[in-house]
Amino acid sequence: MNKESYEQSYLYRLRHSAAHLMAQALTELYPGVKLAIGPPIENGFYYDVETTEALKEEDFAAIEKRMKELSKLDQRIERKVAKSRDEAREIVLKECTLGQGEAVAEYKLQLLDAVPEGEDISFYDQQRTDREGTFHRFIDLCRGPHVDSTKEIKHFKLMSLAGAYWRGDVKNKQLTRIYGTAFESQEELEQYLHNLEEARRRDHRILGKELGLFMFSPRVGPGLALWLPKGAQLRETMIEFLRDEQLKRGYEPVITPQIASIKLYEKSGHILTFREKMFPFMEDEEKETYILKPMNCPFHIEIYASQIRSYRDLPIRYAEFGTVHRYEQSGEVTGILRARGFTQDDAHLFVTPDQLLDEFIGVVDIMNTVLRKLGLTDFRARLGTKDPKSDKYVGHDDNWVAATNAIMEACDKMGMEYEISPGDAAFYGPKLDLIIKDALGRDWQMGTVQVDYNLPERFGLEYIAEDGKPHRPIMIHRAPFGSLERMIGLLTEQYAGAFPLWLAPVQVAVLPIADRHVDHAMDLASQLKGYSGDLGTKLRVSVDDRRETLGKKIRENQLQKIPYMLILGDKDIENGTVGVRSREEGGKDLGAMTLQAFVEMVEKEMD
């Protein structure tokens, strides 16, 4: 179901009503609770509240119990429209607060003020007297729509608690957000919970450990990954792929240091706009301050600026797999999807205004090539623009407008659809980002292209044009993966660890059946690796020479998601064949074939 049809659906209304039912239970159980907002969301609903005492997850059982009781009362949910803003205010203060007045109406009054002029101000009212004669009522300022009766809300579960800033602003008070979910049937609810469990098994942090890709150590520090041999191989493979692709397209590799004097960052504007994301500064004995690099761009700019550049030299495309460190807040670190140290597949293009459009299109093309190769199809593009209200940007508005227009023009020309997201620009310019969901449905920004008029200006970059006069180049910042860490984390989840053959850290496992087959297995592996023989291939091969049963070796290599196993016993040695097993379909026996035939098969698969 897509977003639009979901928002029109009964399920969406049901969840919205479930949020109200939860709020009703909360007002009864916690007198004095201040209600803020409670919308339906992608997989359920939440309500933000302010309570006098901190809520705990152990309170959920009591809240759910009361919700069930209130549901059974069969309260009719009725829509009421206030005749005027004043009347609406009266309802909020007198009825919504159930006599507690202004003390609990704080957020609702603010929401009322935010209802645009001319729009209906509606309330949803649910009430009933129970068998003991107690009157229950809940009326809430709300656009709706809702279901007809609380009786319809039967299959729900409270999921988690979180702090959430009022109106999403850190400067505001932090409220308590209660997340829940609701479905039309018990089966669907259980299916959803089951799917959550399944998604957890695809989590890159779990697979990363099981498959030996990467690890973290508290002695190294949060968000600082240690890459294990298989994970490092994966990185090398991805780097090799992209490096070739870039060389083909006229990129030139450069290499720059991990730290630089603070002067570089004063010039770039990082100190003004990026400081809180940088690791603590270092000071040497001469009192020079150094900074661990959070971005590669100023370094590439220094290389550009080191010589007089002619328009004949442009475009210049400097590429670097540049490792950067950013001091992410402690609660924000998420495995390798959000780390404190990560490597960008970075490049900076210095172009003339005439070249901008073509170069931008060239970058989008390389991104498409990358996505296709990696098999990522489920992504969306987002144009991050400047938030006019924020002061976290550098440069003149004219530059911003020109850069934003350039991106839109290029996208239109390529027929690329995108959504505009104000406030998601980089501090120096607007950007086009690719957004992909992880196993748990969270959005992550992956590849990015950014058009930048501002850093060239700050650094006074020039090239000599045909007219013999200095002109200012435009920069394109771009990273098709985004970062190796995030991309590998995401790919791990997309493929549930079963990487495509070209990417798999170990492509082939050779399994000798008994000790007497080990020498032969070693020889075979050496040929497949291209170290001996004339198979004309270079595969990544392991030999499982442990003294274990064949069944066990197969099981463990299958769990390691190794694409092919070659089983080697007396029959094979006699016939000059190997028994080939594919990891597909839970392990498929492809029968005996010659090594040559096997190599032809895998080479074809990798084309």
Q: Is 346 a catalytic residue?
A: yes
- Beta strands at 564-568 and 431-437: parallel, antiparallel or unpaired: unpaired
Which candidate in 20, 66, 155, 297 is catalytic?
Answer: 297
Please identify, using beta-carbon distances, which residue of 50 and 313 lies nearer to RNA: 50
Please identify, using beta-carbon distances, which residue of 218 and 415 lies nearer to RNA: 218
Among 137, 277, 471, 540, binds RNA (CB under 7 A): 277
- Kindly give, in sequence order, each residue whose CB lies less than 8 Å from that of residue 426, ignoring residues fewer than 6 positions away: 384, 450, 452, 477
Which candidate in 270, 309, 477, 561 is catalytic?
Answer: 477
What sign results for the dihedral spanned by CA atoms 551, 557, 562, 565? negative
486 is a site residue for RNA (CB under 7 A):
yes
Residue that the structure tokens 């797999």 belong to: 321
Among 133, 218, 280, 415, binds RNA (CB under 7 A): 218
54 is a site residue for RNA (CB under 7 A):
yes
- In the region spanning residues 292 to 331, those forming contacts with RNA, defined by CB under 7 A, are 326, 328-331
CB atoms within 10 A of CB 440: 13
56 is a site residue for RNA (CB under 7 A):
yes
Site string for RNA, 378-417 (x = CB under 7 A): --------------x-------------------------
- Kindly give, in sequence order, each residue whose CB lies less than 8 Å from that of residue 179, ignoring residues fewer than 6 positions away: 44, 45, 46, 158, 159, 160, 161, 162
**536 CB-contact burial (10 Å; exposed 0-12 / middle 13-18 / buried 19+):** exposed
- To the nearest 10 degrees (0 to 180), the angle between helices 518-528 and 595-606 is 40
Nearest CA to 451 out of 420, 473, 422, 429 is that of: 429
Q: Is 344 a catalytic residue?
A: yes
Distance, in Å, from the CA atom of 143 to the CA atom of 98, rounded to the nearest integer, reads 20
Nearest CA to 364 out of 342, 386, 385, 379 is that of: 379
- In the region spanning residues 72 to 101, those forming contacts with RNA, defined by CB under 7 A, are none
Q: Which value, to the nearest 10 degrees, does the dihedral of the CA atoms of residues 557, 558, 562, 563 take?
A: 140
Site string for RNA, 570-589 (x = CB under 7 A): xxx------xxx----xx-x
Q: Is 258 a catalytic residue?
A: no
Q: Is 380 a catalytic residue?
A: no
208 is a site residue for RNA (CB under 7 A):
no
Please identify, using beta-carbon distances, which residue of 215 and 308 lies nearer to RNA: 215
Please identify, using beta-carbon distances, which residue of 202 and 472 lies nearer to RNA: 202
CB of 312 to RNA, least distance (A): 32
Strand order in the sheet with 474-479: 252-253, 316-325, 341-351, 474-479, 443-452, 431-437, 379-385, 419-422
- In the region spanning residues 122 to 161, those forming contacts with RNA, defined by CB under 7 A, are 160-161
CB 104 within 8 A of CB 32: yes
Q: Which value, to the nearest 10 degrees, does the dihedral of the CA atoms of residues 479, 483, 484, 490 take?
A: -110
Among 98, 115, 271, 333, binds RNA (CB under 7 A): 333
Which candidate in 326, 338, 486, 561 is catalytic?
Answer: 326
Among 322, 482, 497, 563, binds RNA (CB under 7 A): 482
426 is a site residue for RNA (CB under 7 A):
yes
- In the region spanning residues 160 to 199, those forming contacts with RNA, defined by CB under 7 A, are 160-165, 168-170, 174, 176-177, 179
Beta bridge pairs of residue 487: none
Site string for RNA, 538-557 (x = CB under 7 A): --------xxxxxxx-xx--
- Does the N-terminal peptide bond of residue 500 adopt cis geometry, omega within 30 degrees of 0? no
447 is a site residue for RNA (CB under 7 A):
yes
- Does the N-terminal peptide bond of residue 315 adopt cis geometry, omega within 30 degrees of 0? yes
Among 305, 569, 601, 603, binds RNA (CB under 7 A): 569
Please identify, using beta-carbon distances, which residue of 345 and 359 lies nearer to RNA: 345
Which candidate in 346, 438, 452, 544 is catalytic?
Answer: 346
Which candidate in 13, 338, 348, 553 is catalytic?
Answer: 348
Residue that the structure tokens 């179901």 belong to: 1
Q: Is 452 a catalytic residue?
A: no
CB of 591 to RNA, least distance (A): 7
Q: Count residues contacting RNA (CB under 7 A)?
A: 89
Mapping DSSP to helix (H, G, I), strand (E, B) and coil, where does residue 6 land?
helix
515 is a site residue for RNA (CB under 7 A):
yes
Please identify, using beta-carbon distances, which residue of 43 and 352 lies nearer to RNA: 43
Active-site annotation, residues: 297, 326, 344, 346, 348, 431, 477
